[in-house]
Amino acid sequence: MITGPDGGPTVVLLHGFGAPGDDLVPLHRVVPSKGVRWVFPAAPIALPSPFGDSRAWWLIDLAKLERAVRGGAQASQILADSLAAEVPQGMAQARERILGLLDDLGASEPLILGGFSQGAMLATDCALHSALPIAGMCLMSGALVAEREWAPRFNLRSGMRALMSHGRQDPLLPVESAERLRTLLGDSGWTIDWMPFDGGHEIPRPVLGALAGLIQNVT
C-alpha cells in the first residue's frame, strides 16, 4: 500500500513474520508526518492461518523460537548467537524484491527504510546490499542475522542515522541480539538512537514519537 503525496519524503516500512500485509498501515495515521509518502509492502509468502491474512518474507523455525521462550535467559542468549550465525534461506530473494520496489519508487526526496521484527532484519539487509541513498532507518524489534555477511558491509553505511527499539521482555527475538547489532553498527560509524523499553514484541507509542522525530530530522 502507498499513501501520501509524490515528491515528498518517503518512508518504507516492512511488516513482521506472520502479520497481514497491511499490518503497519495504521502507523501513518498516528505519526505526525505532513507531506510524507508512506509505503507498506506486503511479503510474498502466504502462511496458513485460521485468523486471516498471514505473511512472511522468508520462513523461520518456529520450534526453535518456542524452545527459546521456554528456556529463559540462557536459551535467549543461545538463540541470539544462532540468529547471528544464520543466513536465512529466502532473505536474498526478499531483498531483491524490496530493492526492486525502491528502484520503481524512484524517490528523489529523502528515504527512510525500516520495519518491524523480520521486516527490520530485511530492511537492514537491503541497506547493506545497496548503494541507494537512504537518509535514515527505523529498526523496530529486529535482530542481528547473517553476521558474517553483514559485518564487512557496516562501514559502507558509516554515518547512517538509525532508530532502534526493542522490548527488554521480548519473548520472540531476544533483546541481546538487537543490542549486539546496535554495538556493531555504532562501532562502524552509525548514529544510533537506541530505545529499549519494558515490554515485549511490540511498538510502543514513544517509539512512534521517535519515528516522527527521525522523519523531521532527516527531511
Mean pLDDT of 116-135: 96
Mean pLDDT of 197-207: 96
Mean pLDDT of 92-103: 96
Which amino acid makes up residue 195?
M
Q: What is the mean pLDDT of the chain?
A: 89
Interval 13-55: pLDDT, tens: 999 999 999 999 999 989 977 789 999 999 999 998 776 789 9
**Run of H or E including 103:** helix 91-105
Mean pLDDT of 93-117: 91
**Lookup: cell for 119:** 521486516
Phi, psi angle pair for 107, to nearest 5°? -70, 125
Interval 135-174: pLDDT, tens: 999 999 999 999 999 999 999 999 999 999 999 999 888 8
Q: What is the pLDDT of residue 218?
A: 81
Predicted structure pTM score? 0.92
Q: What is the pLDDT of residue 137?
A: 98
Distance CA 212, CA 50 (A): 35
Contacts by residues 190-193 (CB-CB < 8 Å, ≥ 24 positions apart): 190/154, 190/157, 190/158, 190/159, 190/160, 190/161, 190/162, 191/159, 191/160, 191/161, 191/162, 192/162, 192/164, 193/161, 193/162, 193/163, 193/164
pLDDT at 69 exceeding the cut of 60:
no
Q: What is the pLDDT of residue 53?
A: 87
Q: Which of the following CATH numbers is that of domain 2-218: 3.40.50.300, 3.40.50.1820, 3.20.20.120, 1.10.357.10?
A: 3.40.50.1820
Least confident of 63-72, 87-96, 140-149: 63-72
Least confident of 78-92, 143-157, 164-178, 180-194: 78-92
* pLDDT grade for 80, boundaries at 50, 70 and 90: confident
* pLDDT grade for 91, boundaries at 50, 70 and 90: very high
pLDDT at 200 exceeding the cut of 90:
yes
